[in-house]
Amino acid sequence: MLMFLSEMIQGSRDSLAALVAQLPRPPHPLFGRRPGPLPLPDNLICFQRRSTTELNRPGHGRSLHHRFVLIFALRGRVAVCVDDHVIPLGPNEGLLVFPFQFHHYIDAGPQALTWLFVTFDLAQADALQSLRYRPFPLAPSIRASLEQLLAAHRTEERMSELPLLLLALLLARIVRLAPARAREGAGGQAGLVMRVNEFALQRREPLRLRELARSLGISQSHLRARFRASCGVSIGRHLRRLRLERACGLLRLTSLRVAEVAEQCGFNSPYSFSRAFGAAYGQAPTRYRQRTRRGHAGRDKR
């Protein structure tokens, strides 16, 4: 055993020496590699699912929220329905679900599985857009980054930035190694849900259904029917929930006043916003902001 460890350490030293020997002379000693566009994630949560019966939660409908969800299928095969796309996900594959995307699981007969979920907040996500609706393989470099992330998530102090830095590294590697083309057969209703969300999230004033239908080039009745068939809920209910979930994200990730959040999310007044928010989440917007920012306050004091 001691001989084996000695040989392993020596091999590691030889590999490092070989890499160092390959380094070129810098063309200029003051100008080097600059950071990329990916900002640091926040509010990281990791959890697992060990059977298909645990996947569809909440059980009363499809999930929709303002957070990112990274799914890693380590064992077991289930189809993930994201908006109007059906994406089969099997062992050693991953998928990123974006904020405000409907998602649930289908063709999930009773079976044991090992699926890892990594959820997080991210203020700017332009660098991740290539991953929308696109599964990616768990290449060795991605698995190594994932193992480091989970080890740090378990052992580091709650206020440590290391797990967030490792998550940023993991995302950068996924973007770099993800396939350039979406999986064939993943499309559904020509991106109807994504187009609805884009139109709704770009507006500050209250959204009228006839304006939305006109922008999509279809009638209101056709839009209602297609959306319900695709997502299982009425488009009116979806738009209300979308505005409130967007408000949750703004309350968590920005310093906007409650009145400004209400305006950006298309509410007529701060009063109508607070009333709708309280009915949906059981607390006032200011209370929600205070509760979700306690961890940040503790981190800032360190």
Residues 167 and 212 in one domain: no
List beta partners, residue 104: 81
pLDDT at 190: 44
Task: List Cα–Cα distances, 272 to 21, 244, 277, 281, in angstroms.
Answer: 66, 12, 8, 14
Range of 86's domain? 42-177
Query: What sign for the dihedral angle of Cα 82, 264, 250, 242?
Result: negative
Residues 219 and 291 in one domain: yes
pLDDT at 254: 82
Which CATH number is 127's domain given? 2.60.120.280
Residues 65 and 159 in one domain: yes
* Domain assignment present for 5: no
pTM (2 decimals)? 0.71
The first and second tokens of residue 43, run together, are 């509010």
Residues 196 and 262 in one domain: yes
pLDDT at 302: 36
Which CATH number is 225's domain given? 1.10.10.60
Task: List Cα–Cα distances, 26 to 19, 29, 164, in angstroms.
Answer: 15, 6, 30
Residues 96 and 221 in one domain: no
CA atoms within 13 A on the CB side of 235: 24
> Of 130, 152, 177, which residue constitutes the final position of a domain?
177
Residues 47 and 133 in one domain: yes
302 residues of the chain, pLDDT tens digit each: 444 345 544 555 567 778 788 777 777 666 666 666 667 888 899 999 998 888 866 544 567 778 899 999 999 998 888 887 889 999 999 999 998 888 888 866 778 889 999 999 987 778 888 898 899 999 999 999 999 999 998 886 665 788 999 999 999 999 988 765 444 333 434 477 778 887 877 777 777 888 888 888 888 888 888 888 777 778 888 888 888 888 888 888 788 899 998 888 888 888 999 999 899 888 899 998 888 765 544 444 33
C-beta separation of 266 from 206 below 8 A: yes
Burial of 80 (0-12, 13-18, 19+ CB in 10 A): buried
pLDDT at 116: 95
Q: How many structural domains does the chain have? A: 2
Residues 53 and 167 in one domain: yes
* Other beta carbons within 10 Å of 95: 19
